[in-house]
Chains A and B, each alone.
Chain A
């Protein structure tokens, strides 16, 4: 009878290499590399998803870069990009104070992190409820006597992206927080003790011990923020479907490709986004190597 363990180790090795990698490699090629190759190809055609593909050269790219309708969506990304700074600032602040002695430490950690684990659609609805006229936010403002600041949070095109970016901060702050917490906890405790003996106060400890030790993680998060800002989709799509000037690049791409059936143009937009994100990622990798 055939037994695998009777084969020589060399033969076993060959069988294992082929057997263990065949499925992952097939999946990798089918769902990572073929789509990219196809996407480049589609981006040079006027394909609508069913018809014959006709080669149109750079026409799609020309449309994207000359028609302001397509380019304006990058302005929306700026809101999400600036929001990330607020998000990281908050995360860093909470991670720092919760790294030291605080009562109910684990409870606070849990509560601040929990939003990150929530379902995207649930968060979208939750904040539709939050921003409604006479909804939660308006009621809170009224209670605090700040009623005069009440706005149409999702109805006013000047404010809508701030509201949505705020929702994004609420959703993702916990992620940065937990990463920072992990990084800070890897700093040996005796460093603080030594610093305290030398008369360093809490601010000095933050500035000269914590900040330098987690510099890399901050850099990484900052650069991830750029690609995150460019590819924001779920919150604005679920909450407003891109209405009132809240359309992001990905909403635009999905609409063009799937709603209006312009797969060629949608692909070209996706290629543009992919190239920007890849360039950003490469810059980040380079940063890390030099450190």
Chain B
């Protein structure tokens, strides 16, 4: 009897896992199938039918060239690199000051950073837009870079949390050896912050790569398209050529898949750690 109940439990468990698996994969798999189909094959076959020829890369070439995806990748890469380096540097620097020094106004400063987490970024775009325009950054990569760097209070948070676990006595013993604060920051704090930096890079990377709102609003110029906005332009003119759009979707997804597979462990730790 016990045995029977146990097996039944297992069956329910695995069936539900398989259902979850299909629900997660089918929308991606059908896009993957369609991306290899020729136009006539696409029209004549159902979405669940695999393509006849798995090496038909014509749709990929078309999506990549006509969809301006090369420009998208270049812009996304530039913006990613600069804003990640920027957010890591500014985030760790302010966290160092807030965590290690007590001074007049330090509580106020801390409060200002905490309070800012309350402001939902999505609501202030109307006013932020005027500032970006006033700074002459509208339709430049600078707009996205400066916005990704400045709104990153989460990075500051993650650094503050890690900094707490780095003992102050390390700083003190370095000071006995005559190390300057800059040396302490560079040679002691930054290396010990490595797990936090990896977390910030991943969380930030995911956000920046997938963000649509910021580039759509602040960099509408064609030469400044990122992956998201380049893909979005398929919407009108390619409305009936789903096989090309599907190739475009896959082009946007493949880098994520590679990054996910190679960084899996760090991603799990980072995601779980960043909300605690």
Which A residues fall within an 8 A CB radius of B? 4-5, 7, 9, 12-13, 16-17, 20-21, 23-25, 27-28, 30-36, 38-39, 42, 49, 90, 93-94, 97-98, 102-103, 106, 108-115, 117-122, 125-127, 129-130, 132, 135-136, 139-140, 143, 170, 175, 178-179, 181-183, 202, 220, 227, 231, 233-234, 238, 250, 253-254, 257-258, 263, 266-267, 270-271, 273-274, 277-278, 281-282
Bound together, the chains give a CA A220 to CA B96 distance in angstroms of: 28
- The verdict on B65 contacting chain A, using a C-beta distance below 8 Å, is no
Bound together, the chains give a CA A161 to CA B59 distance in angstroms of: 32
B 12-47 binary contact with A (CB < 8 Å = 1; else 0): 011011001101111110110010000000000011
Once the chains bind, are B27 and A4 in contact (CB under 8 Å)?
no
Q: Which residues of chain B are near A33, meaning CB under 8 Å?
A: 112, 116
Bound together, the chains give a CA A130 to CA B246 distance in angstroms of: 11
Main secondary structure of the interface of B (DSSP, over half): helix
- The verdict on B56 contacting chain A, using a C-beta distance below 8 Å, is no
The 6 A-B pairs at the shortest CB distance, nearest first, are namely A182-B272, A27-B150, A5-B180, A35-B127, A39-B127, A20-B93
| A24/B93 contact (C-beta < 8 A), A125-B249, A135-B47 known | yes
Bound together, the chains give a CA A33 to CA B242 distance in angstroms of: 44
Once the chains bind, are B48 and A118 in contact (CB under 8 Å)?
no
Beyond A114-B24, A140-B26, A281-B118, 7 extra complex contacts between A and B, CB < 8 Å = A24-B91, A31-B150, A102-B13, A126-B31, A136-B48, A258-B129, A267-B126
Identify which of A30, A111, A282 contacts B150 (C-beta below 8 A): A30
Task: Name which residue of chain A comes closest to B29, CB basis.
Answer: A136
Q: Which residues of chain B are near A135, meaning CB under 8 Å?
A: 47
Once the chains bind, are A20 and B94 in contact (CB under 8 Å)?
yes
Query: How many positions in chain B have a CB within 8 Å of any CB in the partner chain?
Result: 91
B 224-244 binary contact with A (CB < 8 Å = 1; else 0): 000111011011000000100
Once the chains bind, are A39 and B118 in contact (CB under 8 Å)?
no
- The verdict on B90 contacting chain A, using a C-beta distance below 8 Å, is yes
Q: Which residues of chain A are near B252, meaning CB under 8 Å?
A: 119, 121-122
Once the chains bind, are B96 and A117 in contact (CB under 8 Å)?
no
Within the complex, what minimum Cβ distance (angstroms) separates A6 from chain B? 9
Once the chains bind, are B212 and A270 in contact (CB under 8 Å)?
no
Bound together, the chains give a CA A221 to CA B13 distance in angstroms of: 25
Once the chains bind, are B20 and A233 in contact (CB under 8 Å)?
no
Identify which of B9, B213, B231 contacts A122 (C-beta below 8 A): B231
Task: Name which residue of chain B comes closest to A273, CB basis.
Answer: B123
- The verdict on B275 contacting chain A, using a C-beta distance below 8 Å, is yes
Q: Which residues of chain B are near A118, meaning CB under 8 Å?
A: 210, 253, 256
Once the chains bind, are B151 and A32 in contact (CB under 8 Å)?
yes
Bound together, the chains give a CA A49 to CA B25 distance in angstroms of: 45
Task: Name which residue of chain B comes closest to A271, CB basis.
Answer: B123
Once the chains bind, are A231 and B120 in contact (CB under 8 Å)?
yes
Bound together, the chains give a CA A94 to CA B15 distance in angstroms of: 12
